Amino acid sequence: MTSISRKEFLSGVAGTAALAGLPAMGSAADNALVMRAIPKSKNKEQLPVIGLGTAQDFGAQAAPEIMEQKAQVIRELVAKGGRVLDTAEQYSGGGAEAFVGDVIAQSALRDKIFLATKIEERGKEAGQAAIETAFKRLRSDTIDLMFVHNMVDTDLHLPVFLDLKAKGRYRYVGVSSTGREQDRLTTWMDQIDFVEFAYAVDAREAEKRLLPMAADKGVAVLVALPLGRGRLLGKVQGQAVPEWAKQELGAVSFAQLLLKFVVSHPAVTAAIPGTNRPQHMIENLAAGHGPLPDAKQRERIAAIWTA
Ligand SMILES: NC(=O)c1ccc[n+]([C@@H]2O[C@H](COP(=O)([O-])OP(=O)(O)OC[C@H]3O[C@@H](n4cnc5c(N)ncnc54)[C@H](OP(=O)(O)O)[C@@H]3O)[C@@H](O)[C@H]2O)c1
C-alpha cells in the first residue's frame, strides 16, 4: 500500500466519481509481494496480500499423486513468499485441517505459515471439543487465527477464543461469513482482530459497510471467494486478457486480474483464493506483485465481468 491512506481511499469508495482521480496503488518499479499490516498487531506484523484457501476438496482423499500435488501447493505458497493459509474444521469433513497439519509438520513449515482455521459448532461442549481437535489435527500448540465460522453461536464461542488468546494459544481471533448474512459481521467488530467474508468484482456489497467499518475499527480482512468459486473465470473462458491489463498491471491471466481487484482495496489484508494446483498457486501469488489497480483501473476490471 503506497500513496494513499486507507481512509482516503474508503471515503472515495462511497462515490465512484471520487475514485477516478486517485493515484495508482503500487508502481511497476516496486515488484515485491505487497504486504499489509495487521492493524491490531502489537509488533506491527504484516501479511502478504495473497494466501491460500482450502475449502474445495483440498483435504479430500485422492490418489497419492493428487495428494502430493496438493502438498506442493502449500510448499509453493511458502516458496514464493506467501504465508496465509485458511482452513476450517468442516472442510473435507475434517480432512483439510488434518492434511494441512501433516504437510506443515512433514515439511517443517509451521513458522513460515500464518495458520487460520474455524469452528462451526452449536453449544459450548461441541465448541470445546472442536477447539481441541483443531490443535491436534493441525499438529500445533498455537493457532495464528481462529474464526467462529459462519457466525454460528458467536457470542458463546468468542469469549472462549478470547481467553485462549490471552493464554497465548491463539494469536488473533475473528468471525467469518459469506453470503447474504455477512453484513452482520459488523456486530463483533469491536471484539475481534480479523473478519473473513466474500468480496469479488461482481459481489461488491462489502464496499458499503463491511470494508469501511473494518478499516475504521482496525480489523484485518481476509477475503473469501475472491474468484467467485470458478463462476467468474467460467465467464471469460476462451477470451484473451485485455492488452491494457497486461501493459499497465502486468496481469497475464483473468485470475490475476480478479485478485488484483480484490487486494487493491486498502481495507483488505489478504485474499485467500482456493486451489489444488501448484501452478495456480504460483500464478495467484504473482498477482500480489507489481502494480495494483487504481480506482479507474478497478472499474475497468469490474466492467469485464459486469458491463
Ligand atoms: N464462510 C467462510 O468462512 C468461507 C466461505 C467460503 C470460502 N471460504 C474460504 O475462502 C477460500 C476461497 O474460496 P473458494 O476456494 O471456495 O473459491 P475461490 O477462491 O473464489 O475459487 C476457487 C476456484 O478457482 C480455481 N482457481 C484458483 N486459482 C486459479 C487460477 N489461477 N486459474 C484458474 N482457476 C483457479 C480453483 O480451481 P483449481 O483447484 O483447479 O485451481 C477453484 O475451483 C476457501 O478456500 C476458504 O478458505 C470461507
pLDDT in tens, 174-222: 999 998 999 999 999 999 999 999 999 999 999 999 999 999 999 999 9
- Residue 30's pLDDT is 59
Ligand 1 touching residue 120 (CB < 6 A)? no
Q: Does ligand 1 lie within 6 Å of residue 292's CB atom?
A: no
Domain extents in the chain: 6-306
Which of left, alpha, beta for 234 (phi over 0: left; psi -120 to 50: alpha)?
alpha
Which of 150, 222, 229, when mutated, tests ligand 1's pocket best, judged by the most ligand atoms within 8 Å of its CB?
229
Q: What are the cell numbers at 188?
A: 463483533
The pLDDT tens digits of the residues spanning 75-117 come to: 999 999 999 999 999 999 999 999 999 999 999 999 999 999 9
Cell of 213: 467499518
Ligand 1 contacts CB of residue 151 (under 6 A): no
Distances (CA, A) of 88 to 174, 195, 269: 13, 14, 19
What pLDDT is stored for residue 7 in this prediction? 47
Q: Which CATH class is domain 6-306?
A: alpha beta
223 lines ligand 1 (CB under 6 A): no
Does the C-beta of 255 come closer than 6 Å to ligand 1? yes
Instruction: State residue 14's pLDDT score.
Output: 37
CA distance 280 to 275: 7
Amino acid 299: pLDDT: 98
User: Which residue CA neighbors atom 2 of ligand 1 most closely?
Assistant: 177
Ligand 1 atom at minimal distance to the Cα of residue 226: 20
Give the global pTM: 0.93
Cα of first residue to Cα of last residue in the chain, in angstroms, is 28
117: left (phi over 0), alpha (psi -120 to 50) or beta: beta
Cα separation, 148 vs 161, whole angstroms? 9
Low-confidence ranges of the chain (pLDDT < 50): 1-5, 7-29
Task: Tell me the residue length of the chain.
Answer: 307
- Mark 200-226 as b/e (b = at least 16 C-beta within 10 Å): bbebbebbeebbbbbbeeebbbbbbbb
Judge if the beta carbon of residue 204 lies within 6 A of ligand 1: no
